Amino acid sequence: MSCRAGCSLAAVRWFALFAFCLLPFAFSSAQSHPEAELVVTNARIWTVDSNHPTADAVAVIGDRIVAVGSAADIDAWRGSETRVIDAGGKLLMPGFNDAHVHFIDGGMQLDSVDLRDAPTPEEFRDRIARRAARYPDEWVTGGDWDEEKWNPPHLPARDLIDSVTPRTPVFVNRYDGHESLANSAALRLAGITAATQSPPGGEIVKDANGNPTGVLKDAAQGLVDRVTPPLTHERRLRAARRALSHAASLGVTSVQHMSAAYADIEAYEELAERGELTARIYVAPPLAGWQDLAKIGVRHAFGSPWLRIGALKAFADGSLGSTTAYFFQPYNDAPGTRGLLAGDLQPLSRFRDRTLGADAAGLQLCTHAIGDEAISIVLDSYQNLVDKHGERDRRLRIEHAQHMAAKDFDRFARLHVIASVQPYHAIDDGRWAERRIGSERIKNTYAFRTFLDRGVKLALGTDWTVAPLNPMLTIYAAVTRATLDGKNPNGWVPEQKITVKEAVEAYTMGSAFAEFQDREKGSITAGKLADMVILSDDIFRIDPNAIRDVQVENTIVGGKVVYTRKPPAGRP
């Protein structure tokens, strides 16, 4: 991290102490106060602070909250230079903290071909053709296709797109990221033929004659990735800026970038030095490089309030949609497979050695696990490191934790593992998941209610680009569980619904806890970072089905307004 980042961290700590010293006076209008730089008043504030859950106004100096209370209390903090935002009685909350994103990919997606809503194979082909014609010298990437929208659903193949891309390489991914389609031009560059064997943890899908169809699953995607032109630094910066602007428009003030490349971190650091970050970023590079961080003494949550490192991302399996999530029992609709263990777990002894080494170095572990046996294997490994290194505040995480074995809920809680979950996946997968794994396994699928009832901490996110970054869709999904096809208006596996308050807490304090930052952000509390969002409607009072349509009015990060849907009321 830069000297600027380190110096700012020291300043922040000094100011936090200053702010807490002022806290006893925050609710006294008779007391003389320093002048606030920002006051938000006439708001309906949900603080996510159990000591003071509601308020009407908040005062900010620098990047910190200095007072929270009634409008009369906070009026004493106004001065001639104070910017005042009149919220017009609207809901003010802590900014959303997305616990699992692929942020640079998200920015790239905003500039790439969009296949997610392509309703037919023909439209899929035509969109790729238009992109290739517009940029004939560039690979066609991105996509996020979803074959479940086709009637009947079936995987695409290279012969669908070869005729419209004879010389342009195409490598477009399924929306879950665990499956991609390459055209013949891309397969040639990668050297993939009928004789090519599938790598451990992956599959080269082949037709009845043994020829590759173009579909590559999980680790097999790397065969094409290695010949795909790398992003230039400028292109990466552009993607980061696009992602930051998009996040600000949605009230997302913090993100946790999983599987971040070192080049991504370099781009973030440059933007931080320029003062261009408008969301706080915690990066988790791949577990395989844990020694890079350990050698220089980096531990969990190292860095500044804007950019931190110290977490590591691993993969235990694939995804349900690609039939690569790893289960104890075979898939109902693909009885020849139980899924695939990811390359990080092959062999399992190497995964255990890496997690032990990373844990000994004080680094945080975040492991993708979706199928019930994959989750169980990760819990075994986490238990192993606790047994060897003893109890401490590790904040171990399982990313997704989608399909649990009933026997593992109590173990999840006993090991204090955080469930980093993405509710939108539930209303997406719920269209077809039961066909894939059956009615019994479905009972413990996206089990948010069971996790909370067993004392497991939830951290909410989206897995953007796999799902939309919009927090309103995430909360709507967690609360209603109404599938995207409209066939489950009362909720898919409705017993796993959670309340709006529980979802908001998991999206703010829960996500902050998951990155060791719950003392710094996650609630509207004096002394914490002034990251807040004003919403167009009160999501605690409206019909839950209307939550998905709620808009962000203002996004405030570190006391600065970084997004305004319309000019705020009040004086500047």
pLDDT higher for 178 or 273? 273
Q: What percent of the chain has pLDDT over 90?
A: 87
pLDDT in tens, 519-546: 999 999 999 999 999 999 999 999 999 9
pLDDT higher for 409 or 568? 409
Mean pLDDT, all residues of the chain: 93
**pTM (2 d.p.):** 0.85
DSSP codes, 416-438: T-EEEE-HHHHHHHTTTHHHHHH
Q: For tokens 């013949």, what's the residue?
A: 184
Q: How are beta strands 38-41 and 44-46 bridged, if at all?
A: unpaired
Q: Spell out the domains of the chain, with CATH numbers in brackets.
A: 3-95+531-564 (2.30.40.10), 106-225 (3.10.310.70), 311-514 (3.20.20.140)
Residue 5 has pLDDT above 70, yes or no: no
Mean pLDDT of 50-56: 97
Point out which residues pair with 341 in neighbouring strands: 317
Q: Count CA atoms within 13 Å of residue 26 on its CB side.
A: 24
pLDDT in tens, 91-108: 999 999 999 999 999 998
Q: What is the rounded CA–CA span in Å between residue 572 and residue 567?
A: 10
User: Which residue type sits at 508?
Assistant: T
Point out which residues pair with 202 in neighbouring strands: 218
Contact 283, 260 (CB under 8 A): yes
Q: What is the rounded CA–CA span in Å between residue 278 and residue 268?
A: 11
| CA-based radius of gyration for the chain | 24
pLDDT confidence bin for 351, thresholds 50/70/90? very high
Q: What is the rounded CA–CA span in Å between residue 532 and residue 458?
A: 20
| Residue 248 three-state SS | helix
pLDDT in tens, 202-248: 999 999 999 999 999 999 999 999 999 888 999 899 999 999 999 99
pLDDT in tens, 315-333: 999 999 999 999 999 999 9
448: part of which helix (H) or strand (E)?
Answer: helix 448-453
pLDDT in tens, 474-490: 999 999 999 999 999 99
User: What's the residue count for the chain?
Assistant: 572
Q: What is the pLDDT of residue 15?
A: 46
pLDDT confidence bin for 176, thresholds 50/70/90? confident
Q: What is the pLDDT of residue 567?
A: 59
Q: For tokens 């990668």, what's the residue?
A: 190
